[in-house]
Amino acid sequence: SLIGAVGGQGIYAIERPTRTLSAMLSQAGGVTIEPEVAQITVIRGNKREKVWFQDLFQNPEMDIALRGGDRILVETDSRAFTVLGAAGTQARVPFPTQTISAIEALAVVGGLSSVAADPKGVFVFRNEAADIANQVMGRTDLEGAQRMVYVLDLTRPNGVFTARDFVIRDQDTLYVTEAPFTQWNKTIGAITGTLGSAQGLANSTQALTGQ
């Protein structure tokens, strides 16, 4: 049986031309979502295995032979990351491809804000497994998921290359800090705005009292 994002959902007989997973998907009209984010799940009894649609054709060994009773589910990749701060857009963004780097993730949301962002402060917040956290921190005593923060400085000579090689994972949060002058302008704006409001109130009071 085939369900999900396929051209024709239903129950199909396994015949010689359709005995493999890719052939059966073709028989059902193919996938109806973007191939880059399509995931194929095969459920056989109590076992469940998942493969990317593109990997199915790039790696022939993944194109398994089907058995009676197999269930095939085609669905869109559900992974997403969040972008906050001085970026082009602040939003929760679905993964557009199987893998995406920090540079590509920023490009998806319009890059850094040209008038507000500080390229020295691109932070990636992530929950890391204990074994990875121990390697990063050079420790051996950490247990359980650890909250980690990675800093990417795009102004360094190899900063862009580092960000290009840094792979974003599911549920990551990218935060772009504001440049110092932007924070300064906000502070000055708050002060001058307060002074302006106070001066306006004083003028209104004088007008009411006739002084």
Q: Which residues contact 209 (CB under 8 A, 6 or more apart)?
A: none
Burial class (CB in 10 A: 0-12, 13-18, 19+), 152: buried
Q: Look at residue 186 in the predicted model and tell me its pLDDT.
A: 55
Q: Look at residue 208 in the predicted model and tell me its pLDDT.
A: 54
Rounded to whole angstroms, the Cα distance separating 95 from 113 reads: 21
Q: Which of 63, 82, 59 is nearest to 174 (CA)?
A: 82
Rounded to whole angstroms, the Cα distance separating 85 from 113 reads: 9
First-to-last C-alpha distance (Å) of the chain: 87
Please list the residues that pair with 46 across neighbouring strands. Answer: none
pLDDT tens figures, 94-146: 999 999 999 999 999 999 988 888 899 999 999 999 999 999 899 889 999 99
The C-alpha R_g of the chain, in whole angstroms, comes to 27
Taking residues 22-34, report their average pLDDT.
94
What would the two tokens of residue 78 be? Answer: 């559900």
Question: Collapsing DSSP states into helix, strand and coil, what is residue 149?
Answer: strand
Rounded to whole angstroms, the Cα distance separating 101 from 91 reads: 17
Q: Which of 36, 34, 46, 53 is nearest to 71 (CA)?
A: 46
pLDDT tens figures, 153-202: 999 999 999 999 999 999 999 999 987 755 545 555 555 555 455 455 45
**Alpha helices, H only, the chain:** 21-27, 53-58, 102-108, 130-137, 159-165, 180-209
Angstrom CA distances, 139 to 124, 130, 132, 142, 143, stand at 21, 10, 10, 7, 11
Q: Look at residue 114 in the predicted model and tell me its pLDDT.
A: 80
